[in-house]
Amino acid sequence: MTALSALIRRDIRIALRVGGGALIGVLFFLTVVVLMPFAVGPDLALLSRLGPAILWLGALLASLLTLDRLFMADHEDGSLDLITMSRTPLELACAAKALAHWLAAGLPLIVATPVLGLLLNLDMVATGAVALTLLAGTPALTFTGMIGAALAVTLHRGGLLMAVLVLPLSIPVLIFGVAASQAVIVGPVTFGAPFSILCALSLVSLVIGPFAAAASLRHGLD
């Protein structure tokens, strides 16, 4: 356990120290949301209807973009070699890195949601619902995205290719995240059904993500 907590503490510390690594994600999130009124017009009624969808898309893109270098940085400076050789199973180390990334980059997005909800004319309940769905759903985005981050190491390239590979995998999370938020605002379904499926998706990705990432890393070192 000390090994894993050491890894988590290190990654968070680096994220907070290096040029606001975590905050850039929030800034990107904010920028995407601010762009929306320019695209669809400053119609507050329309914006509040699209609000949850905009927030979810923003969070999806923000978490995907910040994930790009999750393993790449460790690969480039040789840390990944030593992590592979440690007594900690690589799957657990991957999970710890993803958890650290979520704490450093995912949580700030959720904290920022209420402010962005104001900009999109969402009321308190709706904003709360979106924040809650993001809290339940962003772990799934992180743990799915980490597969792409691990593939980026294997392939020596990240960026657009990874986005193209990973985004289709996150469609279910998007569907149920937005549906649960919309359920609170307009119905017609109850909040519980899509929300519990969203939680289930997060739990499934918690299992699949580390195994797939570790499999990819183990075969991809060179």
Partner 1 sequence: MSGLDQGKMQLSGRGVVCVRGGREVFSGLDFEAVAGEAVAVVGRNGSGKTSLLRLIAGLLIPAGGTIAIDGGDAELTLPEQCHYLGHRDALKPALSVAENLSFWADFLGGERFEAAKSLATVGLDHATHLPAAFLSAGQRRRLSLARLLTVRRPVWLLDEPTTALDVAGQDMFEGLMRDHLARGGLIIAATHAPLGIDSRELRIGGAA
Partner 2 sequence: MTLIDLANPTRFLALTARVLPWLVAATVILLTIGLYQSALAPDDYQQGATVKIMFIHVPNAWLSMFVWGVMSIASLGTLVWRHPLADVAAKAAAPIGAAFTFLALLTGSLWGRPMWGTYWEWDARLTSVLILFLMYLGLMALWRAVEDPSRAARAAAVLTLVGAINLPIIKFSVDWWNTLHQPASVMRMGGSTLDKSFLIPLLLMAIAFTLLFVTLQLAAMRNEILRRRVRSLQMMQASQRAA
User: In degrees, to the nearest 5, what angle opens at C-alpha 135 toward C-alphas 193 and 213?
Assistant: 100
- Binding test (CB under 8 A) with partner 2, winner from 15, 122, 131, 201: 201
Question: Is residue 155 a contact residue for partner 2 (CB under 8 A)?
Answer: yes
User: In degrees, to the nearest 5, what angle opens at C-alpha 137 toward C-alphas 135 and 142?
Assistant: 100
d(CA 49, CA 193): 21
Q: How far is the CB of 79 from partner 1 (least distance, A)?
A: 4
Q: Return the residue matching tokens 């649960």.
A: 180
Residue 121: which of partner 2, partner 1, none does it interact with, CB under 5 to 8 A by kind?
none
> Where is 154: in which H helix or E strand?
helix 124-155
Chain positions 19 to 48 lying near partner 1, rule: CB under 8 A, are none
Residue type, 166: V
d(CA 163, CA 145): 9
- Binding test (CB under 8 A) with partner 2, winner from 14, 53, 165, 203: 165
d(CA 149, CA 158): 7
Question: Is residue 9 a contact residue for partner 2 (CB under 8 A)?
Answer: no
Instruction: Give the number of C-alpha atoms closer than 13 A to the C-alpha of residue 56, restricted to the C-beta side.
Output: 29
Q: How far is the CB of 82 from partner 1 (least distance, A)?
A: 5
Binding flags for partner 1, 67-106, as an x/- string (CB under 8 A): ---------xxxx-xxxxxxxx------------------
d(CA 184, CA 189): 9
- Binding test (CB under 8 A) with partner 2, winner from 151, 180, 184, 199: 151
Residue 203: which of partner 1, partner 2, none does it interact with, CB under 5 to 8 A by kind?
none
Query: Two tokens at 37?
Result: 């009124």
Are the beta carbons of 70 and 149 closer than 8 angstroms?
Answer: yes
- Binding test (CB under 8 A) with partner 2, winner from 118, 171, 190, 196: 171
Residues of this chain that bind partner 2 (CB under 8 A): 147, 150-151, 154-157, 161, 164-165, 168-169, 171-172, 175-176, 179, 188-189, 194, 197, 201, 204, 208, 212, 215-216, 219-220, 222
Where along the sequence are the contacts to partner 1 (CB under 8 A)? 2-3, 5-7, 9-10, 13-14, 17-18, 76-79, 81-88, 219, 221-222
